A and B are shown apart, each in its own frame.
Chain A
Amino acid sequence: MATAAEIEKQAEAREVRNRWFLSAPALIIILLAASGPLLIVLFYSFLTPGPYGDVVWKFSTEGWVSVFLERDIFDDTLSFASAHLTIFWRSLKLALMATVATLVFGFPTAYFIATRPERTRDIWLFLITIPFWTNLLIRTFAVLQVIRNEGLINTALINLGIIDQPIQMLYTDFAIMVGMVYVYLPLMVLPLYASMEKLDFRLVEAGYDLYATRWQVLKRIIFPLVRPGVVAGSILVFIPAIGAYVTPSVLGGGKNMMFANLIELQFGQGRNWPLGAALSITVMAIVMVALLVYVRNTSGSEVRHG
């Protein structure tokens, strides 16, 4: 006769087995499709660049050294690779700004949709996803058409007599920002909506009842309760934003590079694949650490809230 404790233990073991079994397909795909290529990149970062791109199979740490340091071509001395830092800093800044901007625009949008009657919500969500139907490149060129010197905004402003010289918006950080906000907004709205939909709006009423103004209700009740959506949305926007390639190369021109453009440069004209590989791993590691800190802090502050 098995005791109750034994039966419980067996049930638990069965549960664990089932869980592994059910998640096996996903795990296999992740292992093969994500970890495999990453390992190749990591491996390449320790090789020597070939003369016409590609790599020669000889161990070298030069790729990693040049992530952080610059070797002077004349006297071979090392100095700090400030260009890389500048580009990384710009990427980080733009990605953060884009995340905040999508949050600022996405929050009211998601709130609006979540407070519509159930039947019309689907229509609004459908409208939000329409931009996904179009290729990213085309959407980015659409933004370009709007903000370039002969574009919609400048033409309109000149015709209205508000300005007489076009405002230079294209090929600035601002242009990259606008492009990223436009492209990534749905990625913020959808998870925000998902958590707002679950929000019990009677709590909002309870807040009003207890003398909280609209702003206080937002800050003290709605925001803490939809925090999971804010966290998810921020991550979904921040990760592709810091790795953005198409948007900065179309809207930022040649000089306002972001990190992805720098990496691409090493694999292309730069002919320094190990450096490109090392840069990729570096940015990935930084993003991972940043996300861990972010997630830990936001979920921790929820417990301490109030």
Chain B
Amino acid sequence: MPDTPGKNAIEVRGVRKVFGTGEAQVAALDTVSVSIRENEFFTLLGPSGCGKTTLLRLIAGFDFPSEGEILLYGSDIAPLPPFKRPVNTVFQSYALFPHMTVAENIGFGLEMLGKPRAEIDARVAEMLKLVRMEKLAKRRTSQISGGQQQRVALARALAPQPKVLLLDEPLSALDYKLRKEMQIELKRLQHETGITFIFVTHDQEEALTMSDRIAVMSSGKILQVGSAREIYDRPAVRFVADFIGETNFLDASIDSIDGGKAKVTLKSGATISATVADGFKPDGDATVVIRPEHAKAVKGTGDISGVVENVVYFGTDTHVHVRLDDGETFTVRQQNTRGAMMEFERGERVGIVIGDDAAQILKD
């Protein structure tokens, strides 16, 4: 992304973080570079242990990069201790102060900044209202539930109005409904306050619905950065396609390539067209990636065919799991409409029609 440097809230340049020494060395981050724009809802998405928390800790200042640098609004933050960085964190473990009440926790940052009592009290009241914890203001943090603790942690980090807010899986302990509400609330907050959010999650749905941009991480590396749409529709590598949403993989041989398009022959003998990711030059054999909703199951023949193994009804749509003739599995997702509902039975032979532009060829 060619961004103008001034517009970036955070710029991570070639950062490596190595833990341990000698044999026991692990590179928790392996040369990560990413720019996070001002007032952006930026999400780090990746499986457990991929280095999300590590990256946040480097930005917050609890750890220091082994290599590389991190810029905050254009200036290197390496010399700043955490308490001088206008960055607040919602910790994965909440880290609420057990010897203080909910209200004292929320007011702590402002107090340390030396704000007058009246301002602190007003802001704490505002924050309590925001996270709907007014009734529990006087409680000890050990006397509230996990979800409530998470909301206090959020309020505590927001209270001092930081430039950048780091959120390490802040919604993971909430029940579905509250989680949805908090997602909307967070989005609204981020929009209103103009604070740059760096949000960590391993829930792809959360990432897709909330983020302006997403960075998909895997074993210490950022594989792709882009909007939800870009990540979902045009995954750069196979891992991203696999991690975000459901995906079908089919082996194919390449007949011809013309720019970003290729003609491939599937094992079933059918020939389909597929898009090729930017800057990737496949030759010979390739794996073709097809989203379940871009294919259609039909009674009769399609591009490929197989036997229905399972039909799962999801309310808005139905997933049809098909065992292909070559032994692979393939999932089709079709929307349920009141009128034309295509019913499939287990064991029934079906054909699968792959839409134009549905197939993509990706780097491993």
Contact = CB atoms under 8 A, between A and B. Distances in A.
A107 B109 CA distance: 26
B98 A225 contact: yes
Given A210-B88, A210-B160, A211-B112, A205 B97 contact: no
Contacts of B88: 209-210
B356 to A, nearest CB: 51
A213 interface: yes
A305 B82 contact: no
Chain A contact surface mostly:
helix
Nearest to A305: B99
A210 B100 contact: no
Nearest to B109: A210
A306 interface: yes
Given A209-B89, A211-B109, A224 B81 contact: no
Contact of B82 (A202, A203, A208, A302): A208
B83 A208 contact: yes
Chain B contact surface mostly:
mixed
Size band of the interface chain A makes with B? 20 to 34
B97 A212 contact: no
A297 B167 CA distance: 39
A206 interface: yes
A252 B89 CA distance: 55
A195 to B, nearest CB: 13
Interface residues of B, number: 27
A205 B95 CA distance: 9
Interface string A7-38: 00000000000000000000000000000000
Interface centre among B62, B156, B160 (most CB of A within 10 A): B62
Contacts of B83: 207-213
Contacts of A72: none
Contacts, number: 65
B93 interface: yes
Interface in B184-238: none
A283 interface: no
B104 A306 contact: yes
A225 B98 CA distance: 8
Given A206-B91, A209-B88, A211-B160, A221 B97 contact: yes
Nearest to B81: A208
B60 interface: yes
B263 to A, nearest CB: 55
Given A210-B109, A210-B112, A216-B112, A203 B95 contact: yes
Contacts of B98: 203, 225
A200 interface: yes
B73 interface: no
A135 to B, nearest CB: 41
B239 interface: no
A302 to B, nearest CB: 7
A302 B112 contact: no
In the complex, the 10 A-B pairs of residues with the closest C-beta atoms, listed nearest first: A210-B109, A206-B95, A208-B82, A211-B112, A306-B104, A202-B95, A212-B112, A224-B99, A208-B83, A211-B83
Given A205-B82, A205-B95, A208-B83, 19 more contacts: A202-B93, A203-B95, A205-B60, A206-B89, A206-B91, A206-B97, A207-B97, A209-B62, A209-B87, A209-B89, A209-B157, A211-B109, A211-B112, A211-B160, A213-B83, A213-B112, A216-B112, A221-B97, A305-B99
Interface of A: 200, 202-203, 205-213, 216, 220-221, 224-225, 302, 305-306
24 contacts: A200-B95, A206-B89, A206-B97, A207-B83, A207-B108, A208-B61, A208-B83, A209-B89, A210-B83, A210-B88, A210-B109, A210-B156, A210-B157, A210-B160, A211-B83, A211-B84, A211-B109, A212-B108, A213-B83, A213-B112, A216-B112, A224-B99, A305-B100, A306-B100
